[in-house]
């Protein structure tokens, strides 16, 4: 038994929450390069800014990425069935598994490179800025590939 079909209110609410959580999760990937550039010549301000970012990173961005991905599973599970009694979104669809793998990889990059690097920069380790920047670039590319997969659903 399905809770909702595509286009029904519960499905739309789940989809909205999924998209909103992902907007929150990826906001730093687009904003941090500007923060990095604007604070480069102000070491004291830079440490304070990165300290604030590091304190909130896991609570806000890490949690949003995890919750957003889990909501994505909910969206897929609520997708409904077609005339042949097959799910519109199935785990066997060729775009679903790459999306899941990319989501797991994004979590690894966020927690292993970005959040860890932000804490190091906050502690004064300027060499970690490169790690944070690389992590931001990687997670942005993975986000864009995942977005492509979810919009165009190749192989579905």
* Interior angle at CA 101, CA 75 and CA 3, nearest 5: 15
Q: Is residue 2 part of a domain?
A: no
Q: How many domains does the chain have?
A: 1
For 141, counting Cβ atoms within 10 Å of its Cβ (0-12 exposed, 13-18 middle, 19+ buried), the class is: middle
Examine the pLDDT at 57 and tell me if it is beyond 70: yes
| pLDDT confidence tier of residue 9, bands split at 50, 70 and 90 | confident
| pLDDT confidence tier of residue 30, bands split at 50, 70 and 90 | confident
Q: Is residue 45 part of a domain?
A: yes
CA distance 102 to 105: 5
Q: What is the CA radius of gyration of the chain?
A: 18
Question: What is the structure's pLDDT at 3?
Answer: 62
Q: Is residue 1 part of a domain?
A: no
Question: What is the structure's pLDDT at 114?
Answer: 93
**Backbone angle region of 55, left / alpha / beta, with phi > 0 → left and psi within -120 to 50 → alpha:** alpha
Question: What is the structure's pLDDT at 10?
Answer: 86
Which residues span the domain enclosing 35? Answer: 9-152
Q: Is residue 3 part of a domain?
A: no
Report yes or no: 153 and 93 within 8 Å, Cβ to Cβ. yes
Average pLDDT, stretch 18-35? 91
Q: Is residue 108 part of a domain?
A: yes
Q: Is residue 60 part of a domain?
A: yes
Residue of 129, 111, 114, 110 lying closest to 40 (CA atoms): 129
CA distance 78 to 96: 14
């Amino acid at each position: 038994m399905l809770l909702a079909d595509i286009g029904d209110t519960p499905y739309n609410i789940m989809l909205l929450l999924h998209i909103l959580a992902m907007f929150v999760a990826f906001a730093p990937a687009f904003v941090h390069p500007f923060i990095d550039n604007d604070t480069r010549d102000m070491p004291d301000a830079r440490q304070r800014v990165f300290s604030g970012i590091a304190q909130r990173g896991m609570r806000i961005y890490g949690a949003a990425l995890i919750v957003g991905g889990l909501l994505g599973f909910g969206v897929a599970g609520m997708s409904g069935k077609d005339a042949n009694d097959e799910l519109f979104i199935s785990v066997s669809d060729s775009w679903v598994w790459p999306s899941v793998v990319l989501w797991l990889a994004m979590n690894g990059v966020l927690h292993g490179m970005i959040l860890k690097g932000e804490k190091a920069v906050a502690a004064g380790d300027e060499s970690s800025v490169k790690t944070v920047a690389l992590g931001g670039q990687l997670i942005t590319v993975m986000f864009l590939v995942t977005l492509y997969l979810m919009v165009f659903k190749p192989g579905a």
